[in-house]
Structure 1
């Protein structure tokens, strides 16, 4: 499976504001789970987008969207009025829309959900760093 550099960069790294080893482990674990689900979704989209594993993965990606949309939206709200703020806000709206309904093509659904999660994770990481 090939992972592109921008996909890896889009996944949040450990937060600099961690205050305990337990929190650090939990963040690293959550980050790894999100990254793993994004990678798996992109691979399944190409090879087996309609199987039971893909259905469960789409459900997990929807949950990631629900979880990550809140801090990603906070990040967008903190930005000054700019194109960057518009893009960050639109990304959250689009991700929520995709999580509600991403169409009937399972491969497209996996790709849209995976990319949405990756972008939300990136913005969530940027919020942690501010």
Structure 2
């Protein structure tokens, strides 16, 4: 009888973990989608604090103006999202966005990211990053 209970608890734990991962991936994808759909001033509120500060410092202007000047890709449909603990990668049709989990939710740490070629061993080059 005890082994049945242990087995049932194990199955329940696996189900909860899978649901939790799916929910976190969906939340990260939603945050990435919101960032690319937002007007520059709204998009700035979706940037991680360190990313926003670096963007403003490098551009010498406010965040919204800097985002307009960078000219990030329009975004496109979400093609996939992966979450690893408190970090996420959201792949869109024309760019990849990286996010981190903060108390207020998922915030963008890098956007407008592309690889020079499709080799997954190559690093991303990002238009906006911390």
- TM (norm. structure 1) is 0.32
When you count helix as a share of all residues, which structure comes out higher? 1
When you count strand as a share of all residues, which structure comes out higher? 2
From the CA coordinates, give the structure whose radius of gyration is larger.
Answer: 2
